[in-house]
Amino acid sequence: MRKAQSFFLFISAWYLLSFLNVLPYPHTTAITFATLLVEGDPVLGKTIIEHSISSILRVVTGSGIAFLISIPLGILMWYERVYSLFYPILEVLRPIPPLAWIPLSYILFASFPNPTVFAQIFIVFVGAFFPSFVTISDYARNTPSEYIELAEVFGGDEMKILRRVVIPYSIPGIITGIRVGLGVGWMSIIAAEMIATSGSGIGYFIMVMYEVGGRMPEIISGMAMIGIIGYGMNAILLKLEERFPWHSKSRT
């Protein structure tokens, strides 16, 4: 019921802004959106689905690589030695937003076969790595001392504790990390696509629509698509997280 009210409020506000000539009408936009789903726009010739797939592929690749590193590294942060070695470096790198890496990454990857794509994947990597790493390492480091004590009482060594206690305990953290990482990665790719051209991708689509002009419904459709995909990714992983009985809800 609340949801319906919220939707109604949103649409009314939109219609109001349309009457004031600020935005195109919701129904016009909806028609444009529906058309873009099946038919490419005349400028770029690709459907919004194709653009989404390009963006998603880049996000999944970039964040996939990020997770391949952030998951083991985050877990290893449980070892005090590893933590004290890596944490200071990562703490300095972490506040640098993914967008700030854009110019550097375009230079770094200039000599690669497909520099724009590599640079964009790298930006997603940076975007996805830090939030997932922080979440996972936070989880691993907060493995309850009771469980470690339990393992010790039965004679478990560090390796066994890591494998049988820290890793399984951190699985919900890993999923949260993936969820948060994908979210930031998704925002990063849109920004990266807007800054450098890539031939496809939702961010690129929106930017070209803006440059050519007269395409506010297309621009809003692109934004809606970003929202839908971002929401979908988040919702799926959130569902997965809830399946773990020891998942503490206070973490984000």
Partner 1 sequence: MKMASGKKIDKTIYFRGISILLLAALLIAASLSGCTTKNTVNLVKLSPPDMLEQIKLGKIDAFVAWEPFPSKAVESGFKVFMTSKDIWPNHPCCVVAYKIGKADDKTLRALVWAHVKATRFIKNPENRDKIIEYASEFTGLDKRTVSIALQNIKYVEYPDEKEFRHYYEFLKESKILKKSVEELGYESEDSFFNDFLRKDIYQEVIKKLDENPNYVPEKASSIKLGYITGDLHHLALYVALKEGYLNQVFDKVELKQFPNGVAIMEAFRLGELDAAYLGGAPATLKRINDGIEIRIVAGVNNEGSAIIVMGDVSKPEDLAGKTVAIPGFGTVQDFLMRKVLAEGGLTVK
Partner 2 sequence: MALEVKNVKKRFGDLNVLDGVSFTVEDGNFACIVGESGCGKTTLLKIIAGIERADEGEIIYNGRPVKKEDIGYVFQDDRLLPWRTALGNIQFAMEMRGITDKEKAKSYLELVGLKGFESYYPHQLSGGMRQRVGICRALVVNPEILLMDEPFASLDAQTRNRMQMELLKIWDRDRKTVIFVTHSIDEAVFLADKIVVLSKRPARVIDVVDIDIERPRDRTDEKFISYRRKIMRCLSSINHAPQT
Phi-psi region of 97 (alpha: psi -120 to 50; beta: other; left: phi over 0): beta
Q: Which whole-number Å values give the CA distances from 226 to 148, 166, 183, 221, in the listed order?
A: 43, 35, 11, 9
Residues 222 and 209 sit within 8 Å (Cβ to Cβ): yes
| Binding of residue 84 to partner 1 (CB under 8 A) | no
Applying CB under 8 A, what is the total number of residues that bind partner 1? 37
The binder of partner 2 chosen from 42, 45, 95, 155 (CB under 8 A): 155
> Residue 120: which of 132, 130, 108 has the closest Cα?
108
CA distance 39 to 19: 28
Residues in contact with partner 2, total (CB under 8 A)? 19
Query: What is the per-residue binding string for partner 1 in 222-241, x denoting contact by CB under 8 A?
Result: ------------------x-
> CA-CA distance, 174 to 239, in Å (whole number)?
14
Tokens of 161: 């504790």
Question: Closest approach of Cβ 72 to partner 1, in Å?
Answer: 12
Q: Which is nearer to partner 2, 164 or 239 (CB)?
A: 164
Under the criterion CB under 8 A, does residue 156 sit at the interface with partner 1? Answer: no
Separation CA 72–CA 163 (nearest Å): 12
CB contact set of 160 (below 8 Å; sequence gap of 6+): 151
Residue 42 binding target from partner 2, partner 1, none, CB below 5 to 8 Å by type = partner 1
Instruction: Out of 2, 154, 213, 250, name the contact with partner 1 by CB under 8 A.
Output: 213
Mask for 114-153, x = binds partner 2 (CB under 8 A): --------------------------------xx-xxxxx
Positions in the binding site for partner 1 (CB under 8 A): 42-45, 54, 57-58, 60-61, 63-65, 67-68, 110-111, 113-115, 117, 121, 171, 174, 178, 196-197, 199, 208, 210-215, 240, 243-244
